[in-house]
Structure 1
Amino acid sequence: MKLDFTYYNPTTIHFGKESLSNLKGELEQYGETVLLVYGKTAIKKNGIYDNVIATLNEAGKKVVELSGVMPNPTYSKMLEGCELVRKNDVSLILAVGGGSVIDCAKGISVSAYCDDDPFTKYWLQFQPVDNKTVPVASILTMVGTGSEMNGGSVITNEETKIKAGRVFPADIYPKFSILNPEYTYTVSRYQMVSGVFDTMSHLMEQYFTGDDCNTTDYLIEALLRSSIDNARAALKDPEDYEARSNIMWNATLALNTMTGLSKAQDWQVHMIEHQLGAYTDCAHGMGLAAVSLPYYRHIYPHGVDKFARFATEVWGIAAKGKSKEAIAKEGIDALEAFCKECGIVTSLKALGATEEMLPKIAESTFILEGGYKKLTTEEILKILKECF
């Protein structure tokens, strides 16, 4: 563990089939008015909405609702929530849904009382949060982002075509999150495998850095293997509770900051996908998969030892008699084969991208330095063309 670190995570996790029973007790710590943030109709169809409303009423809370949060939450939708917070003196923002809903809730938390333009101040300039914030909590219904136990918030400014992420300090993390794996049973196959790759991408962004061998890398390898095995099990039986619970907890652990400890971290795949999402509104995990394969084939020569380790430790590739380069290539091929096996999309064209979009996506992508190779805009465009 070469790099120093400080680790703190304040989120309380209530996990399991009876986890919602903890909601009423948690609500006692907050004031009268709750802003309930959710997507479109899914939580009303599967009964989660009715159960949550019943508990809020039992706790004597006044409920204000922000519905219709989209898979890639927009700045305008977030600002709707900010107005509701100010107008109703909201004391708790309760997000019920997947990572997009939780991301939107965090955005509302930091932005409602911001006197400046919050997107510019917090997502583009990364300034400290110096205004009043509102506590956030979550009830998770779709897994992948890990937003239930971190400070991340990704918001799309639909006017400027910028999809930007910001990791806020620990005081913006959800105060508590309720994780019932049964809530994910009704998620479509497409969204489930998208979430699985999202989890895997978070792990790989943190794994493919450095030349050391630390405990964090061993944790990441185990979580990758678990994600692979349990995705296969859940595809066979969508109501396999053990598989669904493992997938849910894998996603949380993949981005609750523990798997980034003492790691430089990459995140260039996410930066490219964010701009892809800004132009196509594609499912995040699918966009990550499409970008990851050509990206890793582009950079693996600069981190061949780690890519060879990925092949042997995660995919079980036999190393005897092979060069490190050959082993590394087999590992990336195994990742691609897994995507095809699960029905994970790896074509930008299939995700709604057009050739005309590609230069705009490349030019607007933030370029980072944490990975094995710092890209140029021209290299990003080349990678996009390779997965078109």
Structure 2
Amino acid sequence: MFGNFSYCNPTKLYFGDDALKYLNVELPKYGKNVVLIYGGGSIKKNGIYDDVVKILADNGKDVAEISGVMPNPTVDKLREGVEIARQHKADLLLAVGGGSVCDYAKAVSVSVNCDEDPWEKYYIRFEEPACEIVPVGCVLTMVGTGSEMNAGAVITNPHTHQKIGHVFADEKIMPKFSILNPQYTMALPHYQMVAGIYDIFNHICEQYFSGEDNNVSDYLSEGLMRSVIEASRIANQNPQDYEARSNLMWAATWALNTLLSRGKSTDWMVHMIGQSVGAYTDATHGMTLAAVSLPYYRHILPYGLEKFKRFAVNVWGVDPAGKTDEQAALEGLTALEGWMRELGLVMNISDLGATEDMIEGIADGTIILTGGYKVPNREEIIQILKESLK
């Protein structure tokens, strides 16, 4: 393990089926004005909204609401939320929902006291905030993104077909606290559950398929991947299995709270390609990742052959005896594909609404990163996307 790094994660987590009661512990730490942020209204149907609102009232909070945060939050919605938070003089932004709601709350938090346009400042120029940041707390209802314990915020600009994530450098932008009750995830439709599961798994892969040293982070990644595979199979058969859903929730948090990336390079090209697909199709994030993963991994496998063989052996139990490294590595990707199909994931971008005439635009909207085993050029991205259409 050769990397030099610092590590700080200040988010406090409350985990378990009685975790919401700890909102009473956190709320007194902040001022009176709270902005409650949530999505399409499912939390009103399942009772979570009523529970949260009661706790806010019991703590004497003056509450404004930002509702209707979509699965791929848009820049227009961000600007709307910034105005609401400004008018309310927000002391705390409380996100109740999945990763998109948490991402959105963080994007609002860095924009409320900023005089510049947030899209230009944070998503085009990738600048850091120089203004006061409004603190964020999260009550998580869907797992996958890990947004409950990191400083990332993904926003979509539908006018320019761009979906861009900004992982802010300052740990102050991480949620101050997050409440994780696995029971809150059990009302999700199967499609959303498995999309979240693949998002978890791919977060780990993006950090695993890079670097050549003997890194502790890779051992942690292998254990997390095996846990996700095991829990996903149980949850896929019985979505009400509390232990499986709790393991998935915990794995999702650790998959992207920056721990696994310490001391090594990371890839993230599957996310860059998938996010660009999402900008054109508005498809569910985890499904865009599933649809482009295998073509991308097959493309870079020759450049990271040793790690792909290790993935096959240590994660999928492939026996390398009598096989070349390439044969063993490819068997690992075959096992990955089998598991993905078992879950019922979308395996091509055509099923998400992408068409051949979108390919060049999606490629042009893909941000090229340099941390992986092979830095793809535009022509390679186009080829990967064409293979993802099938």
Instruction: Select between 125-134 and 51-60 the one with higher mean Cα deviation.
Output: 125-134
Deviation at 1:103, TM superposition (A): 0.4
Does residue 26 (structure 1) correspond to residue 26 (structure 2)? The answer is: yes
CA distance in 2, matches of 1:279, 1:387: 15
Q: Which residue of 2 aligns with 1:127?
A: 127
The equivalences for 1:221-370 within 5 A come to 221-370=222-371
- Kindly provide the CA deviation profile for residues 149-201 of structure 1, in whole angstroms up to 9, marking residues without a partner as x: 00000000121111110011200000000000000010111111100100111
RMSD, aligned CA: 0.7
SS in 1 for 2:307: helix
Report the residue type matching 1:138 in the other structure: C
Q: Is the 8 A contact 1:140 1:177 kept in 2?
A: yes
The equivalences for 1:202-217 within 5 A come to 202-217=203-218
CA distance in 2, matches of 1:216, 1:133: 31
- Kindly provide the CA deviation profile for residues 37-70 of structure 1, in whole angstroms up to 9, marking residues without a partner as x: 0001210111000000000000000110000000
Report the residue type matching 1:130 in the other structure: A
Does residue 77 (structure 1) correspond to residue 90 (structure 2)? The answer is: no
SS in 2 for 1:10: coil
Q: Is the 8 A contact 1:209 1:265 kept in 2?
A: yes
Report the residue type matching 2:96 in the other structure: V
Structure 2: 5+ residue stretches without partners:
none
- Kindly provide the CA deviation profile for residues 246-280 of structure 1, in whole angstroms up to 9, marking residues without a partner as x: 00000000000001111100011111111101000
Q: Is the 8 A contact 1:8 1:170 kept in 2?
A: yes
- Kindly provide the CA deviation profile for residues 215-266 of structure 1, in whole angstroms up to 9, marking residues without a partner as x: 1100000000000000000112111111000000000000000011111000
Q: Which residue of 2 aligns with 1:67?
A: 67
Q: Which residue of 2 aligns with 1:153?
A: 153
- Kindly provide the CA deviation profile for residues 55-103 of structure 1, in whole angstroms up to 9, marking residues without a partner as x: 0000000110000000000011111110011111010000000000000
Report the residue type matching 2:109 in the other structure: S
Deviation at 1:374, TM superposition (A): 0.5
Structure 1: 5+ residue stretches without partners:
none
Report the residue type matching 1:228 in the other structure: I
The equivalences for 1:27-176 within 5 A come to 27-168=27-168, 169-176=170-177
CA distance in 1, matches of 2:287, 2:240: 22
Report the residue type matching 1:26 in the other structure: E
The equivalences for 1:164-203 within 5 A come to 164-168=164-168, 169-203=170-204
CA distance in 1, matches of 2:384, 2:46: 40
Deviation at 1:114, TM superposition (A): 1.4
Instruction: Select between 266-275 and 124-133 the one with higher mean Cα deviation.
Output: 124-133
CA distance in 2, matches of 1:103, 1:38: 11
CA distance in 2, matches of 1:128, 1:57: 34
CA distance in 2, matches of 1:134, 1:157: 23
CA distance in 2, matches of 1:156, 1:111: 16
- Kindly provide the CA deviation profile for residues 339-364 of structure 1, in whole angstroms up to 9, marking residues without a partner as x: 10010111101011111111100012
Instruction: Select between 211-220 and 136-145 the one with higher mean Cα deviation.
Output: 211-220
Report the residue type matching 2:24 in the other structure: K
Q: Is the 8 A contact 1:19 1:178 kept in 2?
A: yes
CA distance in 1, matches of 2:241, 2:2: 40
SS in 1 for 2:260: helix
SS in 2 for 1:31: coil
SS in 2 for 1:111: coil
Deviation at 1:5, TM superposition (A): 1.0
Report the residue type matching 1:142 in the other structure: M
Deviation at 1:126, TM superposition (A): 1.5
CA distance in 2, matches of 1:131, 1:157: 23
Detail structure 1 runs of 4+ shifted over 3 Å in the superposition: none
Q: Which residue of 1 aligns with 2:5?
A: 5
Identity of aligned residues (%): 55
Q: Which residue of 1 aligns with 2:374?
A: 373
SS in 2 for 1:114: coil
Q: Is the 8 A contact 1:310 1:328 kept in 2?
A: yes
Q: Is the 8 A contact 1:79 1:112 kept in 2?
A: no
TM-score by length of 2: 0.99
Instruction: Select between 110-119 and 150-159 the one with higher mean Cα deviation.
Output: 110-119
Q: Is the 8 A contact 1:208 1:265 kept in 2?
A: yes
CA distance in 1, matches of 2:128, 2:211: 29
CA distance in 2, matches of 1:274, 1:114: 26
Deviation at 1:128, TM superposition (A): 2.0
- Kindly provide the CA deviation profile for residues 116-165 of structure 1, in whole angstroms up to 9, marking residues without a partner as x: 12111112211121012100000000000000000000000121111110
CA distance in 1, matches of 2:41, 2:108: 21
| Count of matched residue pairs | 388
Report the residue type matching 1:347 in the other structure: N
TM-score by length of 1: 0.99
Instruction: Select between 299-308 and 105-114 the one with higher mean Cα deviation.
Output: 105-114
Deviation at 1:320, TM superposition (A): 0.3
SS in 1 for 2:354: coil
Report the residue type matching 1:242 in the other structure: E
SS in 2 for 1:356: helix
